[in-house]
Structure 1
Amino acid sequence: MSFEMAAVGLALLSALSWGAGDFSGGLAARKLSPYRVALLVQITGFSFFVLMALGRGENLYPSDLPWSLAAGAAGCLGLVFLYRAFQAGQMGLAAPVAGVVGASLAALVGVFLEGTPAPVQLWGFGVGLLGVWLASQSGEFGRRSLGLGYAALAGLGFGGYFVLIDRVEGLFWPSAFAKLTAAVLVLGWALRAFPGPRQELGRYLPLLILAGLLDAGGNVFFLAAAQAGRLDVAAVLSSLYPAFTAVLAWALLRERLRPGQNLGVLLSLVAIALIAAG
């Protein structure tokens, strides 16, 4: 198997893992403060990465540290702005805007650093971004949202994470430091939520741990995909995760997919084929 095909497979695993992680975390966030959910997801990911790095005896490259810290800060800011967008309403618009902006930023940087990909892959990028948008819709397509500005900033944060974490040489240690940075930054918002109504944290702890492990898995697969192939390919394919979240909601919660979401899932599959063919 070529490095390019390996990168495609790893990026799809990243999308699957992130999509399942968002689904698990979303279930917990229905009952718990989203800031607590985010904090526990980050702590779980940090613990996982440290254990894996120690177990593998992975070398810690000092040059990776600034990139890891910057990536963690960018990802955390993306998360905070996404929550601000959710608070302003129009969640069905905020999530796809953030996903499309993040993938587009990483794709543009990838083209700048690595040159223009094959024409068929460019078509795949466009189809994939459209698929992400449609698969994330919840019936609010076309409505104006005060939170769209925050959603765009969230996408810049997520795209910044893609670009910055791609610069590291290691795998688990850089991811660990990125998670630690995000956990420290989000801690302030999480502490503000703790004086609120009592919530059954223990009841949802297994779900939170699962969400954290799946989120960590998505990070690992994305970084491995970016190191094995092109950043733009890894970013666009990894950003197909909303399609997997929608499919899981349909399969496990019996949530009906809207026609636009069905089209988005189909377009995502077409994008995978186009990018892989390149």
Structure 2
Amino acid sequence: MTAVILATVCAVVYGTADFCGGLATRRSRVLSVVALSQVAGLVLILALLPLLPGLFDQRALWWGMGAGVAGAAGLVLFYRALATGTMSVVAPTTAVTSATLPVVFGLVTGERPAPQALIGIVLALAAVMLVSQDPTASRRGSLGSVLIALAAGAGFGGFFILLDLSPDGTGLWPLVGARISSVSLVVLLAVVARRSLRPTAGSLRIIALAGLLDMAANVLFLLAKQEGMLSLVAVLVSLYPASTLLLARYVLGERLHTIQVAGVACALSAVALIAVA
């Protein structure tokens, strides 16, 4: 039950971070938002190290750095897929791939969820697909954009898997490694592309908030996977688009489509089934 609570809260925080990041990209350059939010997350994790101590292990840093590269690559590929495809195709493809890979990895490596939890996993994957849909957008998308979306989802799913592979008892050190590598990668991309990382006036606060919330969600994921199976934790965490949608509805007044409301209902049912398993 502890793992379910932590993973569900993690999904809410991830969704809120994405919402803030989306607002930030309306005001500033995407690469600037990604880089500065990552730096804000690094500051937070360094501040939390003394509060949630763990044994330093070089392997934890290496696994974390691998996770950071996978996550940053997934983010870059996701934006690339959005630039060449359509949201209604790219978003669900990426989301379902990122949710499915950790589930498959967990099952292959010996995790055996209860029957109710397996039903909950199926419902959760359906929920991710439904809440990511935008019926008003064009359904046309090139094969190239779909393949890039699949690669982006693999990057996000790889982030969760690689963090899970870090040694037990190492506390937040995997996240330190993850954030160091992701910041380095994004800054390197900015230098190669000759893009400025200076945010536009008035956008720094929302960028920093997005980065802090994203790192807080990463911490919650680590705590959740220590308490439960990756196949259950990762699929619950992947429900984060539902909270992003609800924030867009009640903060920005955006309209939810019927298919997205059905997705939110599936998400709630999935959480309930996994909780009682």
Q: 1:194: how far off?
A: 3.1
Alpha-carbon contact 2:64-2:174 (below 8 Å) kept:
yes
Aligned partners of 1:39 and 1:229: how far apart in 2? 32
Task: Read off the aligned partner of 1:259 and give its amino acid letter.
Answer: T
1:230 is aligned to 229
Per-residue CA shift, 1:224-264, capped at 9, x if unaligned? 11111100111000000000000000010000101111111
For the 8 Å contact 2:53–2:171, the answer to whether it is kept is no
Which residue identity does 2:204 align to in structure 1? L
| Residue in structure 2 matched with residue 8 of structure 1 by the alignment | 4
Residue 173 (str. 1) matches residue 173 (str. 2): yes
Q: Which range moves more in the overlay, 171-180 or 57-66?
A: 57-66
- SS in structure 2 of the partner of residue 63 of structure 1: helix
Q: Does structure 2 retain, via aligned residues, the 8 Å contact 1:81–1:153? A: yes
Q: Residue 132 of structure 1 aligns to which amino acid in structure 2?
A: V
**Who is 2:46 aligned against?**
50
Match of 2:80 among 57, 77, 84: 84
Mapped partners of 1:200, 1:108: distance in 2:
39
Matched, 1:186 2:182: no
In structure 2, what is the Cα distance between the partners aligned to 1:240 and 1:207? 23
1:257 partner SS? coil
Residue 131 to residue 56, structure 1, CA distance change in 2 (3 Å): closer
| Count of residue pairs brought into register by the alignment | 272
The yes-or-no answer on 1:106 pairing with 2:102 is: yes
Q: CA separation of 1:195/1:75 partners in 2, compared to 1, >3 Å: closer, same or farther?
A: closer
Q: CA–CA distance in 1 between the matches of 2:14 and 2:81?
A: 20
* Deviation readout 1:86-131 (Å, 9 max, x if unpaired): 1113123212211110110000011112333111111111111111
CA distance in 2, matches of 1:77, 1:157: 6
- Quick one: distance in 2 between partners of 1:23 and 1:54? 29
Cα-Cα RMSD: 1.8
Task: Name whichever of 38-47 and 49-58 sits farther off.
Answer: 49-58
1:145-156 alignment to 2 at 5 Å?
145-146=141-142, 147-156=145-154
Shift of 1:58: 3.9
1:143 to 132, 136, 139: 139
Which 4+ runs in 1 deviate beyond 4 A? none
Instruction: Give the match's secondary structure for 1:114.
Output: coil
1:110-129 correspondence to structure 2 within 5 Å: 110-129=106-125
245-254 vs 25-34, which deviates more? 25-34
Which amino acid in the other structure matches residue 158 of structure 2?
G
Give the distance between the partners of 2:44 and 2:259, measured in 1 at CA: 37
Amino acid in structure 1 at the alignment position of 2:149 = A
1:245 matches 2:244: yes
Give yes or no for contact 1:8–1:234 (8 Å, CA) kept in 2.
yes
Residue type of the partner of 2:265?
L
TM-score, normalising length: structure 2: 0.93
Aligned to 1:160: 158
Cα contact 1:12–1:238 (8 A) shared by 2: yes
Q: Tell me how far apart the structure 1 counterparts of residues 29 and 61 of structure 2 sit (CA, whole Å).
A: 31
1:180-207, Cα deviation, whole Å (9 max, x unpaired): 10111111333436359xx753401110
1:137-188 CA-partner distances (Å, limit 9, x unpaired): 1225782312211110001011111111012232322111101101111113
1:166 touches 1:226 (CA, 8 Å); kept in 2? Answer: yes
Distance in 2 of aligned mates of 1:190 and 1:119: 47
Q: TM-score under structure 1 normalisation? A: 0.93
Work out the CA distance in 2 between the residues paired with 1:185 and 1:175: 15
Contact 2:61 2:176 in 1 (8 A): no
1:14 Cα deviation after fit: 0.9
